[in-house]
Amino acid sequence: MSQSVPTREVARRVFAEEFNDAGYTFKESDDERAPVYALLPTGERANRVFLVGTLTEKEDVGEDSEYWRGRIVDPTGTFFVYAGQYQPEAASALRELEPPAYVAVVGKPRTYETDDGQVNVSVRPESITQVDAATRNRWVVETAERTLERVGAFEDEGNEYARMAREHYDLPVDGYKSAAVAALEGLEETDELAPEA
């Protein structure tokens, strides 16, 4: 008799520009413990994301207890991560890190609707790890490849998540392709954390 062991969802590699446009979330079942997915505009579901960028600032925004906000920049834009008592390892990492620093983050997408109806997207980190420039550069290359694959499969009629993305977003996916190419081209420039000569 085999028992189904819950498996962790694959953490999707996504650039900030696309992630910040992913304001639509959904579940695939009515089970209250069913995973919540963010729908990426290029037609992929993401219950977890993997990002690497430069931690440019951090702040304890908690009132009664520690609640850290981190601002992480990749070649296309900015991610915001929030970690508190329920993410102790990530909160500890944010407390200890000194910006600027390259960091790798695995976490869950979260959406929040503001009073004026806008949807803000952030990451609730499971882990935050300081990394080197080579790791960050590898992430940029691999994330660009995944983005270009999603853009390439976007018009495939059998791609149900792309169909959902076409229904929920009025966003041309060519912009994400351009952002991925620009991110790759930016790797040829100097290391932004290197001290000025």
Question: Are 40 and 46 a contacting pair, CB within 8 Å?
Answer: yes
What pTM, to 2 d.p., does this model score?
0.90
DSSP for residue 5: P
Of 27, 12, 16, 21, whose CA–CA distance to 170 is shortest? 21
Question: Are 162 and 156 a contacting pair, CB within 8 Å?
Answer: yes
Question: Are 65 and 86 a contacting pair, CB within 8 Å?
Answer: no
For residues 124 and 193, what is the distance between their CA atoms, to the nearest angstrom? 25
In degrees rounded to 5, what are phi and psi of residue 122?
Answer: -140, 180
pLDDT computed for residue 197 by the predictor: 40
Domains and CATH numbers, the chain: 11-186 (2.40.50.140)
Residue written as token pair 């850290």: 68
Residue 196 confidence class, pLDDT cut points 50, 70, 90:
very low
For residues 156 and 76, what is the distance between their CA atoms, to the nearest angstrom? 26
pLDDT computed for residue 188 by the predictor: 75
Give the pLDDT confidence of 81-133 residue by residue, as tens digits. Answer: 999 999 999 999 999 999 999 999 999 999 999 999 899 999 999 999 999 99
What average pLDDT does the segment 143-154 reach? 97
